Structure 1
Amino acid sequence: MSVYQVVVDSGVESVQLPCKGILHLPKDAKVEWMDNNDKIVHVYMNGSDEPEQQDEFYTDRTKMNEDLLKTGDFSLTLKYPTVTNSYTCTVYSREGKILLKKQVVLTVIVPQVVVDSGVESVLLDCTTTLKLREGATVEWRDAYRKVHVYQDGSSKPEKQDQVYRGRTEMNKDALRTGDLSLTLRYPTVTNSYTCTLYNRDGDILLKKLVVLNVRVPQVAVDSGVVSVQLPCETTLELPHDAKVEWRDIYKKAHVYEDGSDKPDKQDQDYRGRTEVNEDLLTTGDLSLTLHYPTERDTQVYTCTVYSKEGKILFKKAVNLKVNVCQVEVEEGEESVCLPFKTTQNLPEDVVVAWQSDEMMVHLYENGSDKLEEQDQVYRDRTKLNKDLLKTGDVSLILKHPTDDDNGEYSCEVSNRDDNRTNRIWRHKIVLLKVKGLCVCVCVCVCVCACGGGEGRLFSDLKYGFSVRVTIRL
């Protein structure tokens, strides 16, 4: 099957996907265009287009020649291309026999914008030479949400997603100048953005894709370190009543407001584990210290500074990766320690649960071990520190480790305090590898070969060699 290559820039009005072949096809022949995702792009059958059969993604965006069966030109015009894809044109007889099949690879060159997390703003470029009339609408979208809407001569913040509220701006005379570019403040996430221009009737006049690549600083540590710092500095002069908020993807990690930390506003996962500088607003050093990080803390963290009125003054993301703790031990050792240290002075109602493969390895509750709850495989083989509440050291001692103990162990530390401020939750995974014993056995073999004729010894040959055998117990 022949393959054509077509290259266009994102923002062009249309592109032609060429496909030419057999002349004077029968009137009942069928022409079908498909994309690489098995979506029907366009169907021509029984002498006319069949728009009801095409995927909605291509609705009102495709066109073919009227006399295609006569001329043998089955080329497809695709409006407003934004995505690189491969397309296949297939011509069938009435009986379903393939008469022609050709492939076209469409490459859409999408402009890339690269910035560092922490910049104040970035410009997503989109311009047109079309003469635009009043009543046109400009809509910017990311992969899932409305980013900005310009309609009836002004921006419509009530129509944009709240994630972008107060962070976007377009030129006031965008329709007159043809400059539909978008200014996005405080970018923190890599994403693709599409600018679509509609006329008064809702028909698409222009469509362009822009990819924004936000470079986020990476911090990597091993599970078990006492603490890790998420760097965040700004040269802005911050007001003394500003609010600083650190968040992971879903939860509040730390809140600094009215000149002090607000532990009652942070999620229980981070209770007692975070710290910022006392004079952060003066120095501009907004870095967050996270104590006792575990693999569960592998997240993208965002630091946002708000004015007293709630306006965003600064925003920066930091990517933290905490490597999973791995412990190796030789089989035959008396014991092995699965380490887990967290905040000191744990509440008396805390529950410590070590588990593996849905089996209870060790349970500590109401100030004592609950050995009756552990699986029989671990009976009389586990131990926790006596002063774990005071020290925060909830490490597990596993006695007489064997090859059967290989695997993943998880520890959950939690309580059920009705007071949200006193509630905590900690979690850690430890991978245990027990290496089997190796015994090396050397075997020496000596072979003698004797021979003779007429009752006499005529040769005496000796061969010696050794064999090294490794047996893993």
Structure 2
Amino acid sequence: MQRAEGAALLVHSYYGERDLWQGQDKVYRDRTQLDPEGIHKGNASLRLRAVRFQDEGSYLCYVTSELRTSSQQISLAVLRESEMESPIVAQQGQDVTLSCPFECGLNLQPLNVTWKKEEAEGRDLLVHSYYNGMDTLQRQDVTYKGRTQLHPESFPQGNASLTLRRVRSQDEGLYICHVKPELGRFSVRIQVTVEGTGQRIVQAPRGFPTLEKSA
């Protein structure tokens, strides 16, 4: 098996019922393993240990037998475990900034950022999207139109913060930030609570008063 992009790196080689380590790229040394029993059953899966961000990319697997030769290309994405930021308390009608820290490399050109709001039922709401060096808001949910802003000047410091303007009570909930820099993928979750919604007394049926939150 080898890496597909750029100068091909030899990841692992198996020939004559044994592993061949000669020529294996040093970045994969002591981190790869084939299962001989699986090979006899028609499965040449490779186990890669201690995955690193640099392992992300396309891999090519070549299998040659007496009957035929076959190949398969596999794409590997390396994800960082989702982090939970401290909860945010926002005031209705004011602006709030949601932080999204990530580890950035020297090249920020392929940086992609997506902010979503998690919904209990149905699909998540797209809050903001940034792709290929610009905002891409064609699929932004209508409730966030004209109220969101990213700060590209903060990207080199490893922060994809989102500013949400004129906060509404409906903005309360769980927000998820996905960042795809040159290496790795990062995910941050933030719980937002909205205060200052106010309450007023309304008359319920049969004369029982109840409290209702104002919008």
- Using the size of structure 2 for normalisation, the TM-score is 0.52
1:381 aligned residue: 147
Q: In structure 1, how many angstroms separate the alpha carbons of the residues matched to 2:125 and 2:113?
A: 14
- Does residue 296 of the first structure (1) align with residue 82 of the second (2)? yes
CA contact (8 A) 2:152 2:160 kept: no
> Closer, same or farther in 2 for the Cα pair 1:386/1:423, shift >3 Å?
closer
- Using the TM superposition, give the Cα deviation of residue 244 of structure 1 relative to its aligned residue in structure 2, in angstroms: 9.7
Cα distance, 1:438–1:392 mapped onto 2, change above 3 Å: same
Residue 392 of structure 1: CA displacement? 1.9
Structure 2 CA distance for aligned equivalents of residues 346 and 378 of structure 1 = 30
Residues 54 and 183, structure 2, Cα contact 8 Å, conserved in 1: no
C-alpha deviations, 1:343-385, integer Å up to 9, x for none?
A: 2345211210111132211010110111223111100000000
* Partner Cα distance (2:150, 2:87) in 1: 19
Take 1:440 and 1:359, find their aligned partners in 2: how far apart are those partners? 30
Per-residue CA deviations over 1:203-258 (Å, capped at 9, x if unaligned) read xxxxxxxxxxxxxxxxxxxxxxxxxxxxxxxxxxxxxxxx998xxxx97256xxxx
1:91-141: CA deviation from partner (whole Å, max 9, x where unpaired): xxxxxxxxxxxxxxxxxxxxxxxxxxxxxxxxxxxxxxxxxxxxxxxxxxx
Match of 2:161 in 1: 395
Residue 328 of structure 1: SS of its match in structure 2?
A: strand
1:268–1:424: 8 Å Cα contact kept in structure 2? yes
Residues 314-359 of structure 1, C-alpha deviation per residue, up to 9 Å, x if partnerless? xxxxxxxxx55311112122x1111111123452112101111322
Structure 1 residues not aligned, in runs of 5+:
1-242, 255-262, 271-294, 298-322, 416-421, 442-469
How many residues get paired?
A: 136
Distance 1:434 1:410 in 2: 17
Residue of structure 1 aligned with 2:79, choices 263, 269, 272: 269
Task: Work out which structure has the larger RCO, using CA pairs closer than 8 Å and 6 or more positions apart in sequence.
Answer: 2
CA distance in 2: counterparts of 1:388 and 1:432, whole angstroms: 22
CA distance 1:330–1:365, change in 2 (3 Å): same
Q: Specify which structure has the higher proportion of strand.
A: 1
> Which residue does 2:50 correspond to in 1?
252
Using a 3 Å threshold, how does the CA distance of structure 1 residues 251 and 378 change in structure 2: closer, same or farther?
farther
CA distance in structure 2 between the aligned counterparts of 1:269 and 1:414, rounded to whole angstroms:
9
Give me the TM-score of the superposition, normalised by structure 1: 0.25
1:430 deviates by 1.1
Conserved in 2, the CA contact under 8 Å of 1:362 and 1:382?
A: yes
Q: 1:331 to 1:269 in 2, by over 3 A?
A: same
Shift of 1:435: 1.9
Report % sequence identity.
22
Does the residue aligned with 1:434 lie in a helix, a strand or coil?
Answer: strand
Paired AA for residue 327 in structure 1? I
Match in the other structure for 2:116:
355
Residue 387 of structure 1 aligns to a residue whose secondary structure is helix
Structure 1 residue 431, shift from structure 2 partner = 1.1
CA distance in 1, matches of 2:152, 2:100: 14
Which runs of 5 or more residues in structure 2 are unaligned? 1-28, 32-47, 57-76, 202-210
| Kept in 2: contact 1:332–1:437 (CA 8 A) | no
CA distance in 1, matches of 2:175, 2:159: 16
CA 1:340/1:244 → structure 2, altered by over 3 Å: closer, same or farther?
Answer: farther
Alignment-mate amino acid for residue 50 of structure 2: K
Say which SS state the counterpart of residue 390 (structure 1) adopts. Answer: helix
Larger Rg: 1
| Distance change (3 Å), C-alpha of 1:353 and 1:372 | same
